[in-house]
Structure 1
Amino acid sequence: MGLIETTRGLLPGAGGTQRLPRCLGVALAKELIFTGRRLSGTQAQALGLVNHAVAQNEEGNAAYHRARELAQEILPQAPIAVRLGKVAIDRGMEVDIASGMAIEGMCYAQNIPTQDRLEGMAAFREKRPPRFVGE
């Protein structure tokens, strides 16, 4: 994988010149963009560009299977809390940290009155798995 546009006389588009420096830092992003270097999955994982690198299987769907495993880990969690966590992260990364903290606070406040939060607290007290319903 890589931003190879400069090897074709182009500039990376679709946010590549903005997102990569935010992920890796300016110096490494410039190096990768200016050289058009391609990275293996293992290299991308080592840099933190991807969470997981898996060897391909004979069916050609190893990444799909790993994604399903990850989804199975997320699925039992409180759906509203997961959704609001995603909102807080995504929106918070677009602004300064003080504004990001305010966004997190608003998301937190939206989660407080949910039945899932009450269920999570009750399950913790009662030492049992929670039964989240998305309400």
Structure 2
Amino acid sequence: MANVVLATDGSVYSDAAAEWVAKRKLFKEDLCVHVVHCMPDVSAEVKSYISKGDLEAWHTDESGRVMKSAIDILQKAGVPTVWQGLVGFAPERIVAYATSVKALAIVMGTHGRGAFLDAIVGSVASRVIARAPCPVVLVKPETSPS
């Protein structure tokens, strides 16, 4: 079974990527889709006020909430899924996770803002593309979100 990583931020763009994977437009073989969401780590100062267990529980709950719609889309289509909340710099953590599961590809939704705006505000997708050891598929919604 091939592994594909679906990085989600809980947006309609990520849901469009989940729907695209669920339709099996590119990946025809048996897949296991690893849904991941990455949250930035909190500062040492914040960590001094919150127990490690409470912080881990918050990260788990928040990532679970964010990943839910993508997981639901995939499971409704009968696609085997696993999910993992990640903490740290998103591009690095997504690529490291994809490497660890020997992912066939990384799939991400894209806002499609354009190169100029991405150069100014940055883009997780462009940073993942620059670091990934496998193909990265960017999916735009078929219709513009309202």
Fold shared, TM-score > 0.5 on shorter chain? no
Structure whose alpha-carbon radius of gyration is higher = 1
By percentage of residues, which structure has more helix?
A: 1
TM-score normalized by structure 1? 0.27
TM-score normalized by structure 2? 0.25
